[in-house]
Structure 1
Amino acid sequence: MKNLPRNLALSLGLLAFTACSSTSLPNPTPPSPNPSTPGTDTPSTGTLTPIIKPSTRVLEAASREALTQLKVVAAPTNGPRVVELRYKTVTPFLAALKTGDVLVSEPSAAAPSGFLLHVESVRMDGATLVVTARDAKLTEAIEQGEVSIQESLKPERLLNVENLTSGVSLSTSSLRPQDLSTGKNYNYHLSLDHVFYDQNGKKVSTKGHIDFNLDAGITLKLTYDWIIPTGIFFRAGVGVYQDAKVQVSAQADAPINESIELQRLVFEPIIVSIGPVPLVFVPTVALSLDVDGHIKGDLTYELIESVGAGAAVQFDGEFSKDFKAPELKFEQGFKKVQANADLKAGPKVKVDFLLYGLAGATATAQIYGHAVANYPTGTPQFDLDLCAKVTAGVNAPMISDALSWSTTVFDKCADVVTWTNKPPVIEKFTAVSEDLFGGPDITTASNVKLCAVAKDEDDAKVALNFTSSKESLPAADTNGCTVYRFKTTGPRTLTVTATDSGGMTAVRSLTLDVKAVDEPVPTVSIQAPTAGQVVYLDGGVATTYLKGTSSLDDCKKAKWTSSNPADALSPDNCGAPIVTFNSLGTRTLTLTATNGQGESGKASVTVNVQAKPASNLAATASITKPATTNGQVPAFHGDTTFTVEALLGDPENDNVTYKLTLFRTSTPGDAKVIAQGTATGTKNGFSVAKAIKVDTFFGQCSSGEFTLRLEASDNHQASPTVKTQALKVVQCPQ
């Protein structure tokens, strides 16, 4: 009879990540053929009669106790590990070991996942037995057999919970009240509240919770198969149920591709036997937060979701997959969008169900939000999808080298919200006079308060800008207001523009008619030149300062003129105005101030321009401030600060020494020096200013009649030029 090829048929199923839902979701059973249904916690060896190879050796309790160390001495990328076992005593079982034996062990203190090894050598190292071995394939120990496991990975089976980052806590209970809509218990509750990543200008944080359960199932069958020519059949199934409320925040100006490990759950090994051979399956669960994409700015969104799906992968000569389409249910949560982003972020659960802790089936389930934000450039918008991604695979060289494959079973999304930035709305725009007694009209004397109220349903930050058809207006304050006094009369259009962070705008306008104010006729006085002052031409030209004041607060509304059209004067009373003479004779200089109603006030002085004589000309001097106006002597309190200004000059441009004093009019011998010194460059005039208080010189609460005296000399004249100004100092206020 012709020898037929020996074939291996394997069937393996995995069901994991069952998380309880607050809404009715579909049964997560993958498409037919179904994997093992978890939840029975009942191992089964099936009906196939076990056939164990003669070289298989199963460690008994005494030999497991004697093992002190399992050390990996080589772990090639492709190929089995090489390990070294060290035993403190040589039991009868160990004494019979030889090269070629296949050594199998349940978990022990030195090998918590058990092992399946092919013995390469046995030697003594003093009193210690040393066994060198490589990882073996299951088919080296078992000719035929089958086993099924269906386990609920409940909290009481946890060996260890490893916290991999702060801000994450896991609470467990097998006694949680049943959810009335699903009939399931919540065994695990994961709380998130922490900044998980904050490096290089990239920051990711989450806040919220996830409720879930974990189940796993596996069916393994080894046999001679004379029918299936490919020799291997494999199928793994995965079901996903999850309820979560998670807020994800990210701030960055760069790409982000991070997987931040949160917790690792290690369960006690599940031990089943084919005949005397123990098969040790080690379930582990890894929880992580995955973030992938790019972001420029600040993005926050919240997912309130329930997910259910089923999927399977299969190998029958080649790999394939099929699935039951996921059903996604969600609620729209809080969002903050001030970013350009394309970001996927959410929690991920990875379950490994590994034979002897080394190889087997793996599945991952990730529920994530896919956020696309275009803000504020372009058309502001925000799209948020809820996505479920499930991968499944197998890497089981201990069973067969052909079993190494993984695939994304599905990656499906449902739209949560599509938001496009809406423009703000201006609810109110007003222009109101702040003057309590100004009457109903707004005039050029009114302080006008402009205020606007704008709201934006998408954005709390709205900028306001005021404009006028006639003038520039000040910026709005934090309350959306500004105050302005209009300088011209007549109607104008006032507009407020509201702009949100995305550049969307709203505009509202009003018409304001500014009336003329009933202003008093301006009063004007001239301090320099003084009446009848003589000015001397030097080289055919003479220049002197002009000093005048008016009751108007606008120097541009006061103009200097001369009765001699050849004289050149400054255009207004701003700064330090001057007059230039180039002809002899007497002329009248006039300062005219005109109010907004066209009413004018004037003051004039006569100046006599003469040729410069050969003899020395005396220095000129005048006290320009304070000044007697309309016969009224200036008056101050003794503790009031006021400025004394003097104007000095010399036709020959000589240096002028000066002294400014203050004394009680009745006692000139008790004069106090206010300022003194030497003025240079005096041809066109030299100004001196000094701020004083009378009390500084004459004691607290001084009062009475006082005199300012200015003496000036060019050091060539026989006697100084003297000017005085009377002051009245009134008593301190009671």
Structure 2
Amino acid sequence: MRHLISLTTGLALLLAACGSPTPPPTEPVVAPKVNEKTRVVTEETRKALSTFSFTNAAACKTEPDPVKNPGADPAQCTAKLVFSKSTPYLANLKVGELMVSEPGPGAPYGYLQKITKITPSGGQVIVETQAASLDEALIEGEFDQKGTLGAADLSSLSLKAGVVPRGLEKNAIDPQAQSFNLNINTVLYDQDGNESTTNDQVRLKGNFNLTVDDGLSYSLKWKKVLGVPIYPNGIYVRMAYGFNQSANVRVEAELSTGIEKEIELAKFTFEPITFFIGPVPVVLIPSVRVTSDLKGNISAKMAFGASESVVAQAGFEYNDGFHDITKFEKNFSTFAEVSAIKGTAEVGLNLQGEILLYGLVGPYARVRGLVALDAAVPRDPVWTLNAGLRGYVGIHADLLVKTLDYDKEIFKQDFEIARSANQKPTVNFKSPANGQTYSQNVKIDNICFTMDDLETSNLHLTLSSNLDGQLVSADVSRGNFSSYCLPSRSFSTLGTRTLTATVTDKGGLTATDTRSIEIINNPPSVLIAKPTSGASVYIDTPVLLKGALLDANEELDCTRFTWKSNVGADELPANNCGTPTATFKTLGSHTLTLEARDSQNALGTTSIAVNVVAQPANLPPDVVITEPEQKPGIIPKLPFAGGTMTIKGTITDQDSGNITYTWQFGYLQKSVGPKYAVIEKKTVLLVGKKLDLSLTIKPSDFLPAKTTGEFPCYEVDPSNLTLMLVANDGINSNVVFSVPLERGPGC
């Protein structure tokens, strides 16, 4: 199934602006008073700094994720500072003291660190530290900093591969720009890590436009008198990011896997803001990050996404608790293209504003807009598309106040924005082939087709044919991509049949498929079992005849036979009923023909040649087995071992006298060779030149049998198994008539 749905609905992807800030109490300005352990780094020492690295940077420089780990505390940062030479400042430095520095070489964001170890090494000085707070560095003091940030304040722009600023050179920043436009065509997930193989990837496409209206504004206030914070928890924070945002997000996947991953698409980092509380420098680093996350279980090809336009303001105010107001304008449309039998996926577009203190964690506001696809078959609807909005704010202001760690989800909205329409079912004939022929009145058991309905497995089926009316009409529950076969049926009249299969789903949509077949009349198949082709028969002597026929269209009896000879003087029976005989009147080769016509006068015929010879002094007996009867192309089967069968035969002899007859099985047994099992042997006086025999037997009494599983069967070679009737008049050698047999079921 492949379809496209587009509709308009509402989704706001951003946290709205907070209300007007609550002004802090009006108090006299507090003169800074520095902790005696606070040591402001000298310019000489700043220049001597070779490297400044966090030994656990991955953890300590990452804001705790309120989505994955709500309430998690930030990691304690530890660092190592390597100075190329000693300075008077370093020579007097002691463990337990606090180093505080404004930005300089090797430390573009400055630092505020507590010393844990000092190691002179070959002219260098290595200082190991852990992060300290402004609350520790100052006994008394305050600051009140606020401002508005725009494109001119950007210091750097980092972009993921496949994320390109629109209208600008790659990674270029236009200081006059009032918007940040990003084209996105990047890999969200790569199963094997090789981007040159694309069939194992999940790709994110679209664009993101951040337009600065009132700027990205911030306000931080901090005040402490005699070691006591004046503001609640020692800090007042307000961040407000005002903008117009538009985005178009499309996720494409064609693989089977479970995914949970987040990537950074872009990061806007602004110039450091440095100010002093007395001699102590404070460094703020504002930044905005755009990320995308994906999670779910994908099992086939799918593409989904959304287009949105939002006018909003993301921000928060913290002053004796959080204050939040949601306010936005929005325009939202969606689409989904699903070829999946089953799959779920959720993509999120995240905007996070942060104010980093000395490059480490601080206040943040985060908004996550998400679009989620849920596809499953069979189900109604096949897929749904949902949107969601999450707003988070928090402070991890360890550098201001040690005890202030706070995360809060301030709003959460979820709603369905699209679902699949009812899809048309499908039906397709699997068999028969178009134009296939079938015999009249013969059972057909391969009228089969497949049904498919993505919305439901319950379909109403109608299978009809021209000239024969309705074949079947029923409510069927077949499951998805399932086969259905019509119960065996036959057609009584000849000609072309157009079979029409129609399925209707519960929504009223239908699908049809047709198939044409031809009903034909096959002539009877005819067999002459006796005499055999090329046999010698005696002139003026009745010869037993045995004919058989098979008609696929109808049951035919012995009255349908007509015997013919190419010699007009030969005496032939009118049909094959009873025990027919033929008398040949001239010597030489005769052609004996057996014909049979069905009820529609279709002719089946077969012929053999016999050699008519002179009578001997003593005519030998003539024998035929009349039951079991061999049909054209069909060999009689033995019953299961233990079952019974009836055998019948006829013996004629033109010379009166004693006849010895023998019923027997001829067979092959593995590793033994030919064997003969006598069923009955008798000598009787032939009266009236004819003897009819009938006997009910149990073949397993005469043939070696075994039990295989639940079926008893005959332990004989399936080939060369025959039933034989042998006759001898005491003068002539044995005269034999045999019927081949199948070993029967069970082995």
TM-score bucket (shorter structure): 0.5 to 0.7
1:65 maps to 47
2:32 maps to 51
Using the alignment, how far apart are the partners of 1:532 and 1:85 within structure 2?
Answer: 112
| 1:85-164 correspondence runs (5 A) | 85-95=81-91, 97=93, 101-119=97-115, 124-142=120-138, 143-152=140-149, 154=151, 157-159=154-156, 161=158, 163=160
Secondary structure in structure 2 of the residue aligned to 1:32:
coil
Moved more, 271-280 or 352-361: 271-280
2:370 maps to 368
Q: For residue 306 of structure 1, report the CA deviation from its aligned partner.
A: 1.5
Task: Give the counterpart letter for 1:171 in structure 2.
Answer: P
Count of residues paired in the alignment: 528
Q: 2:352 aligns with which of 337, 350, 353?
A: 350
Q: Does 1:243 align with 2:246?
A: yes
2:306 maps to 303
Deviation string for 1:189-248 (max 9, x for gaps)?
131244624379986333222222576443222224799685545444455743111222
Secondary structure in structure 1 of the residue aligned to 2:558:
strand
Q: Does 1:204 align with 2:206?
A: no
Task: Give the counterpart letter for 2:493 in structure 1.
Answer: T
Structure 1 portions without partners, runs of 5+: 1-22, 37-45, 177-182, 427-432, 435-442, 445-449, 473-484, 568-578, 618-651, 655-678, 685-715, 717-734
Secondary structure in structure 1 of the residue aligned to 2:337:
strand
Secondary structure in structure 1 of the residue aligned to 2:44:
helix
Q: Does 1:506 align with 2:536?
A: no
Secondary structure in structure 1 of the residue aligned to 2:191:
strand
Task: Give the counterpart letter for 2:269 in structure 1.
Answer: F
Would the aligned equivalents of 1:323 and 1:409 in 2 still touch at CA under 8 Å?
Answer: no
Deviation string for 1:431-468 (max 9, x for gaps)?
xx99xxxxxxxx99xxxxx9x9x999999xx9999654
Secondary structure in structure 1 of the residue aligned to 2:45:
helix
1:497 maps to 502
Alpha carbons of 1:148 and 1:265: their partners in 2 closer, same or farther (altered >3 Å)? same
Q: Does 1:30 align with 2:24?
A: no
TM-score between both structures, scaled by the size of structure 1:
0.55
Would the aligned equivalents of 2:526 and 2:549 in 1 still touch at CA under 8 Å?
Answer: yes
Q: What is the identity percentage for the equivalent residue pairs of Structure 1 and Structure 2?
A: 19
Using the alignment, how far apart are the partners of 1:253 and 1:269 within structure 2?
Answer: 44
| 1:599-614 correspondence runs (5 A) | 599-601=601-603
Deviation string for 1:391-444 (max 9, x for gaps)?
221111111123201122222245432344244599xxxxxx99xxxxxxxx99
| 1:701-712 correspondence runs (5 A) | none
Would the aligned equivalents of 1:560 and 1:592 in 2 still touch at CA under 8 Å?
Answer: no
2:402 maps to 401
Task: Give the counterpart letter for 1:592 in structure 2.
Answer: A
2:477 maps to none
Using the alignment, how far apart are the partners of 1:49 and 1:210 within structure 2?
Answer: 45
Task: Give the counterpart letter for 1:488 in structure 2.
Answer: T
1:594 maps to 598
Alpha carbons of 1:529 and 1:32: their partners in 2 closer, same or farther (altered >3 Å)? same
Moved more, 273-282 or 98-107: 98-107
TM-score between both structures, scaled by the size of structure 2:
0.54
1:260 maps to 262
2:163 maps to 169
Would the aligned equivalents of 2:191 and 2:200 in 1 still touch at CA under 8 Å?
Answer: yes
| 1:672-711 correspondence runs (5 A) | none
Would the aligned equivalents of 2:266 and 2:289 in 1 still touch at CA under 8 Å?
Answer: yes
Q: For residue 265 of structure 1, report the CA deviation from its aligned partner.
A: 2.8
Would the aligned equivalents of 2:17 and 2:325 in 1 still touch at CA under 8 Å?
Answer: yes
Using the alignment, how far apart are the partners of 1:174 and 1:534 within structure 2?
Answer: 103
Would the aligned equivalents of 2:157 and 2:267 in 1 still touch at CA under 8 Å?
Answer: yes
2:558 maps to 561
Deviation string for 1:98-124 (max 9, x for gaps)?
566532222333223211123456664
Using the alignment, how far apart are the partners of 1:613 and 1:162 within structure 2?
Answer: 115
1:272 maps to 274
Task: Give the counterpart letter for 1:384 in structure 2.
Answer: L
Secondary structure in structure 2 of the residue aligned to 1:359:
coil
Q: For residue 139 of structure 1, report the CA deviation from its aligned partner.
A: 2.7
2:69 maps to none
Secondary structure in structure 1 of the residue aligned to 2:51:
strand
Alpha carbons of 1:498 and 1:307: their partners in 2 closer, same or farther (altered >3 Å)? farther
Task: Give the counterpart letter for 1:206 in structure 2.
Answer: L
Deviation string for 1:10-33 (max 9, x for gaps)?
xxxxxxxxxxxxx99999761312
Using the alignment, how far apart are the partners of 1:532 and 1:350 within structure 2?
Answer: 99
| 1:507-586 correspondence runs (5 A) | 556=553, 561=558, 585-586=581-582
Would the aligned equivalents of 1:308 and 1:327 in 2 still touch at CA under 8 Å?
Answer: yes
Secondary structure in structure 1 of the residue aligned to 2:398:
coil
Deviation string for 1:65-112 (max 9, x for gaps)?
111233556899888545443322334544554566532222333223
Deviation string for 1:561-596 (max 9, x for gaps)?
37999x9xxxxxxxxxxx99996843998432337x
Alpha carbons of 1:467 and 1:123: their partners in 2 closer, same or farther (altered >3 Å)? same
Structure 2 portions without partners, runs of 5+: 1-9, 61-72, 171-175, 194-198, 428-433, 442-446, 473-489, 564-574, 584-591, 623-663, 667-718, 725-732, 734-747
| 1:393-472 correspondence runs (5 A) | 393-413=394-414, 415-423=416-424, 467-468=464-465
Using the alignment, how far apart are the partners of 1:612 and 1:391 within structure 2?
Answer: 121
Would the aligned equivalents of 2:220 and 2:235 in 1 still touch at CA under 8 Å?
Answer: no
Alpha carbons of 1:560 and 1:509: their partners in 2 closer, same or farther (altered >3 Å)? same
Alpha carbons of 1:561 and 1:401: their partners in 2 closer, same or farther (altered >3 Å)? same
Task: Give the counterpart letter for 2:218 in structure 1.
Answer: I
Using the alignment, how far apart are the partners of 1:300 and 1:84 within structure 2?
Answer: 47
Question: How large is the Cα RMSD of the aligned pairs?
Answer: 6.2
Using the alignment, how far apart are the partners of 1:80 and 1:511 within structure 2?
Answer: 76
Alpha carbons of 1:85 and 1:353: their partners in 2 closer, same or farther (altered >3 Å)? same
Q: For residue 161 of structure 1, report the CA deviation from its aligned partner.
A: 2.1
1:223 maps to 223
Would the aligned equivalents of 1:230 and 1:316 in 2 still touch at CA under 8 Å?
Answer: yes
Using the alignment, how far apart are the partners of 2:519 and 2:79 within structure 1?
Answer: 103
Deviation string for 1:170-191 (max 9, x for gaps)?
2266799xxxxxx994323131
Would the aligned equivalents of 2:528 and 2:548 in 1 still touch at CA under 8 Å?
Answer: yes
Secondary structure in structure 2 of the residue aligned to 1:223:
strand
Would the aligned equivalents of 2:270 and 2:287 in 1 still touch at CA under 8 Å?
Answer: no
Task: Give the counterpart letter for 2:378 in structure 1.
Answer: T
Alpha carbons of 1:387 and 1:185: their partners in 2 closer, same or farther (altered >3 Å)? farther
Moved more, 333-342 or 485-494: 485-494
Alpha carbons of 1:306 and 1:99: their partners in 2 closer, same or farther (altered >3 Å)? same
1:191 maps to 184
